Amino acid sequence: MHPERLVRAAINNLLASGAGLIALAPIYLLLTNAFKTKLDADAMSPALPGSLQWDNFTTVIDQGRLVPAFLNSALYAFGSTILGVLLAALAAYVLARHRSRLHRVIYGLLIIGIALPTNYVTLIKVMQVTGLIDTQIGMIVLYAAMQIPFDVFLMYAFVGRLPRELDEAAFIDGCSPIRTFFSIILPLLTPVLLTCGVLNILNVWSDFINPLYFLNSSDNWPMTLSVYNFFSQGTNFSSGSNWALVSADVVLSILPVVVIYLAAQRWILGGWSAGAVKG
């Protein structure tokens, strides 16, 4: 390899390594402080804990009500993802197979939804009128609707790559359009369905703004609101904020997201590359 290329590659690797260390530094501090005593955690030192304080995690699970919050987060993430991905797949199939002028307009309006900001004043009014505000089913419907534009965008190109002969053969065999979609088309969309599903789950799990606006009852709070509430109550501990408990609480809240991403990253990359091809 040419010496100039070696130098350039070395610089790029150093920059990438530096960026990686910067990104990992907050996570490292969280992990180390989560296992420290209150006194050691107050210093926010990068030093490793002298002894592992596992009691920090049991304390935040009890005081922070993380078990019901975890169940709520799982309900919102998986419920909205199943509903949103299914509706987006149906929409992408119809819009990609019948590219009329009307369908192109509908597709364009859906794609605009990716970039347009959410009007929370109007949305709150709609949620109030429909009786969905401060309800679990309301959050599932809200998240599903928010996912549809991006999911349709990814699936539209993927459906366009599937040969139309599959549909024609199914129709000749007597299949209805709905049966053709669920029996033939939907299984072929598995890579992009998994990609959309994982991305949607990660987005819903880490969302803070929407639960803050639309959920009043603490019984319906997801983990993000429970962590925020636990953090805001930190000054109520006997000797000021307990950063060891706060760190343990944050670690427990982000752990499911990290596990899901690491387990499904190959599907995310596969779906991105498959859906990126123009139909």
Residues 145/151/155/156 CA torsion (nearest 10 deg): 70
**pLDDT < 50: residue spans in the chain:** 235-239, 275-279
pLDDT, residue 279, reads 41
pLDDT, residue 80, reads 96
pLDDT, residue 29, reads 87
pLDDT, residue 237, reads 44
Candidates 125, 158, 136; CA nearest to 83 is 136
pLDDT, residue 231, reads 73
Candidates 106, 72, 91, 66; CA nearest to 205 is 72
pLDDT, residue 119, reads 87
- Buried-state track 217-240, b at ≥16 Cβ within 10 A, e below 16: eeebbbbbbbbbebbeeeeeeeee
pLDDT, residue 233, reads 64
Distances in whole angstroms, Cα of residue 166 to Cα of each of 74, 173, 188, 215 = 36, 11, 11, 45
Domains of the chain and CATH, by start? 65-275 (1.10.3720.10)
